[in-house]
Amino acid sequence: MRCSKKSAQCDIDRTRLSGAITGAAFHDPDRREADADVEVWMSAPETFTPGPTLTRERLPKREVLIATLHGSHEGVPAATAALGAHNLATGPMFNIRRVGPAQTSDTSEWATDRRVHVNCHGRGDRV
């Protein structure tokens, strides 16, 4: 499920987040400090019925390049640079939070996958 881009809040019961995979996808072609197009999402059971500010989507499998960040967000620039060092044709970047604030307040235990879709067809276009 994901929050509506225009919504300031989402109707998510935070007590149900502990077993969910959560993440964010970044749709702008460049980094933005403000007015960014960010999609926040989490895994949901098949029986989930979205509320008024949420949608439910099933996404196809895709080839991705992953840099796993262990610890706080201070390591984000290095993880992002590691992904860019491969000089591949890629699509939007997204994060999957493996361990985060919903599980622990100790930032040294956090684990986040920085991922980019990889164009495996060699055409040089965005996926």
Indicate whether 124 belongs to any domain: no
Say if 94 falls within a structural domain: yes
CA dihedral 87, 126, 111, 55 (to 10 degrees): 180
Q: Calculate the alpha carbon distances from 26 to 56, 82, 100, 121 in Å.
A: 18, 17, 18, 22
Whether 125 is covered by a domain: the verdict is no
Grade residue 12 by pLDDT with cuts at 50, 70 and 90. very low
What is the domain extent for residue 78?
2-118
Asked, for residue 13, whether it belongs to a domain, the answer is yes
pLDDT at residue 107 tops 90: yes
- What is the tens place of the pLDDT at every residue in 65-83? 889 999 998 988 898 888 8
Whether 42 maps to a domain, the answer reads yes
The tally of domains found in the chain comes to 1
Residue 127 forms part of a structural domain: no
Phi then psi dihedrals of residue 58, to 5 deg: -110, 120
Provide the pLDDT confidence category of residue 121 given band limits of 50, 70 and 90. low
Task: Please report whether residue 75 resides in a domain.
Answer: yes
The answer, yes or no, to whether residue 103 has pLDDT greater than 90, is no
Q: What is the pTM of this model?
A: 0.62
